[in-house]
Amino acid sequence: MTQTAPQDRAAFEARLRAIGDARYHDKHPFHRRLHSGGCSPDEVRAWVINRYYYQSRIPMKDAAFMSRVSDPALRRAWRKRIEDHDGTDAREGGIARWLRLAQAVGLDPDYVASERGVLPATRFAVDAYVRFVRDMPLLDAVASSLTELFAPKIHAERIEGLLRHYDFADDAALSYFRKRLTEAPEDVAFGLAWVLDHADTREKQDAAAAALEFKTDVLWAQLDALWSAYVEPARIPPGAWRPGEGLLERAA
Ligand SMILES: O=C(O)c1cc(C(=O)O)c2c(n1)C(=O)C(=O)c1cc(C(=O)O)[nH]c1-2
């Protein structure tokens, strides 16, 4: 039986980028609504609450990844991701910055950090991502992080759209996204080179592409859940956040 030859490096990279062009969540109607000023204050709050759950699990999935890596050089390159989100003694991290955004939209950061009110489908999607990275081959795990190839564009659009359309938005509230503009390209340059180097058979290339598609589904499913629950006609699942809950005194 003849084996299919691997794609050359440029063709394989183009294949990965085409997955983003077709499936990345910048195309989801919820993001269009958010960035163009179409979201109500409560829709923005629902997004902040649910997206916190994703943020909170990113360093956990990176720790799960590192626990499986025997190569010290790869661990050294990867551990920055955990510090970017958790911070260090000297430096604030992304989770703290996200909670600043929560405060700016009138939410009590303790409520957001409690993870109460997160939609069931958000939990299922995000937990599936953590499990995927914990259980699948390292190549698939690294490939699944490559949605970050497409993230700087959406972060830039978001900064511009939120600043233009929403009163709560200012540099402090949006500092999370501005910081990611420099953090994400560093991470993804490393991740992409690693995947291109290690996907040395057609089967591995197919697996890496499938991992990236899986991750686009993880992101898309979160926004589908948000739309279904909070955009009219709203269908909020039992136990999920209801407008009016978890607000700061001044916003209540
Ligand atoms: O706002 C976004 O659209 C977005 C998307 C993604 C992504 O593509 O997974 C990440 C982020 N932001 C992000 O801020 C972030 O720290 C991050 C880490 C990862 C990852 O898979 O390791 N994705 C993302």
In this prediction, residue 243 carries a pLDDT of 98
- Among candidate residues 7, 2, 1, the one with its CA nearest the CA of residue 201: 7
> Residue 5 has what pLDDT?
96
What is the 5 CA–ligand 1 centroid distance (Å)? 32
Q: What is the pTM of this model?
A: 0.96
User: Please, which residues have CB within 8 angstroms of residue 112's CB and are 6 or more apart in sequence?
Assistant: 48, 49, 52, 99, 102, 246
60 alpha carbon – ligand 1 mean position (Å): 13
Structure tokens at 240: 């999920």
User: Is 4 within a domain?
Assistant: no
Residue 146: CATH number of its domain: 1.20.910.10
Q: Which domain holds residue 16?
A: 9-231
Residue 212: inside a domain = yes
Q: Residues 51, 54, 59, CA angle at the centre, nearest 5°?
A: 140
Alpha-carbon span 152 to 146, nearest angstrom: 12
Distances (CA, A) of 157 to 83, 147, 154, 168, 217: 25, 16, 5, 17, 21
- Residue 128: predicted pLDDT: 98
pLDDT value for 100? 97
- Residue 88 φ/ψ region, left for φ over 0, alpha for ψ in the -120 to 50 degree band, beta for the rest: beta
**Residues within a 6 A CB radius of ligand 1:** 58, 145, 147-148, 151, 154-155, 180, 219
What is the number of the ligand 1 atom nearest to the C-alpha of 85? 16
Distance 4 CA to ligand 1 centre (A): 33
Residue 239 domain-assigned (yes or no): no
Contact at 8 Å (CB) between 241 and 46? yes
Check residue 251 and give its pLDDT.
Answer: 57
Which protein residue's CA is at the shortest distance from atom 20 of ligand 1?
145
Residues of the chain with pLDDT under 50: none
- Helices of type H across the chain: 9-23, 29-35, 41-66, 72-86, 94-104, 109-114, 120-135, 138-144, 151-165, 175-198, 202-230
How many CA atoms, within 13 angstroms, populate the side-chain half-sphere of residue 232?
4
CA of 189 to the centre of ligand 1 (A): 14
pLDDT above 90 coverage of the chain, percent: 97
**Which atom belonging to ligand 1 lies closest to the Cα atom of 158?**
1
Residue 66's nearest CA partner among 74, 56, 57 is 74
237 lies in some domain: no
- At 247 the three-state DSSP class reads strand
14 occurs within a structural domain: yes
User: How many domains, in total, are found in the chain?
Assistant: 1
Tell how far the Cα of 133 is from the centroid of ligand 1, in angstroms. Answer: 14
Nearest CA to ligand 1 atom 23: 148
Confidence at residue 189, expressed as pLDDT on a 0 to 100 scale: 96
Nearest residue (CA) to ligand 1, atom 4: 151
Give the ligand 1 atom nearest the CA of 147: 8
Spell out the residues 6+ positions from residue 48 whose beta carbon is closer than 8 angstroms to its own.
98, 101, 102, 105, 107, 112
d(CA 38, CA 34): 6
Question: Which residue, 6, 8, 49, 22, is CA-closest to 147?
Answer: 22
- Gap from CA of 249 to ligand 1 centroid (Å): 31
